[in-house]
Amino acid sequence: MECRACPRLVEWREKVAREKRAAFRDWEYWGRPVPGLGPADARLLIVGLAPAAHGGNRTGRIFTGDRSGDVLYAAMHAVGLTNQPTAVHRDDGLRLIGTRITAPVKCAPPENKPTPAERDECRPWLDAEIELLRPSLRAVVVLGGFGWQALLPVLADHGWTIPRPRPRFGHGAHVELASVRPAGSLHLFGSYHVSQQNTFTGKLTPAMLEEVLAAAARAAGL
């Protein structure tokens, strides 16, 4: 995956890859856009925010090699969505079960804060993934309000009806979106993001995340 459309993100991802973190000085950083992970016929999609500077930007795999990924994959394994509870590097044997993970912004942003313009520039990649998954997709879990706002217009453009007023993001939010295509409705779930700020403070606990993932898995028929 190659893209240089956002100068600020390109500069940051490559700067991080050159300078590295001391703990990872022996790593050859990925330093490029990070693609989605999981089968092309997944029934469940998990949508994050963007790769972490020393996580996905280092390893080349989303939510891999950082503490956010540690929390996410442990919870996914607990509810049967992965074959193992850890994600360390691209060749560690991790396999997602009926599930795909992506993000609306594919490059690591400074301070983990992409801009709306960068989100919009990156939208064609998310559009392509949703179109790929469209025949099989039955449920989505969105981690955080940024992903929620990014995803709703994409879902609308791919044939799902967004209620008015728009569904509001919140942890445990759940709305079923009707479809104008014959493939069927889509269950949309919200969860607080697995950021260190949320997990360290207890705003998001493993049990809270597992509850949302389990509900989404059931809705997806997994």
Examine the pLDDT at 181 and tell me if it is beyond 80.
no
For residues 146-167, give the mean pLDDT: 96
The answer to whether the CB of 82 falls within 8 A of the CB of 25 is no
- First CA to last CA across the chain, in angstroms? 29
For residues 182-207, give the mean pLDDT: 94
Closest by Cα among 197, 196, 184, 190 to 213: 190
Label residue 210 exposed, middle or buried (CB < 10 Å: 0-12, 13-18, 19+).
middle
Examine the pLDDT at 182 and tell me if it is beyond 90.
no
For residues 141-160, give the mean pLDDT: 97
What pTM value is reported for the model? 0.97
* C-alpha to C-alpha distance for 183 and 214, rounded to whole angstroms: 22
Examine the pLDDT at 180 and tell me if it is beyond 90.
no
Work out whether strand 186-191 and strand 99-102 pair parallel, antiparallel, or are unpaired. unpaired
Query: Which residue type is seen at 83?
Result: N
* C-alpha to C-alpha distance for 161 and 134, rounded to whole angstroms: 14
* C-alpha to C-alpha distance for 91 and 16, rounded to whole angstroms: 22
Examine the pLDDT at 96 and tell me if it is beyond 80.
yes
Examine the pLDDT at 183 and tell me if it is beyond 80.
no
User: Which residues lie across from 209 on neighbouring strands?
Assistant: none
* C-alpha to C-alpha distance for 39 and 95, rounded to whole angstroms: 9
* C-alpha to C-alpha distance for 148 and 47, rounded to whole angstroms: 8
Longest dimension (CA), the chain: 52
* C-alpha to C-alpha distance for 173 and 218, rounded to whole angstroms: 15
Q: Who wins on pLDDT, 44 or 1?
A: 44
- pLDDT tens column, 7-64: 999 999 999 999 999 999 999 999 999 999 999 999 999 999 999 999 999 999 999 9
Give the strand order in the sheet containing 44-47: 99-102, 44-47, 139-143, 186-191, 174-177
For residues 117-124, give the mean pLDDT: 97
Q: What is the mean pLDDT of the chain?
A: 96
The answer to whether the CB of 208 falls within 8 A of the CB of 193 is no
What per-residue confidence (pLDDT) applies to 156? 96
* C-alpha to C-alpha distance for 88 and 25, rounded to whole angstroms: 16
Using only C-alpha atoms, the chain has a radius of gyration, in whole angstroms, of 16
The answer to whether the CB of 190 falls within 8 A of the CB of 169 is yes
Residues in the chain, overall count: 222
Reported confidence tier of residue 2, pLDDT bands at 50, 70, 90: confident
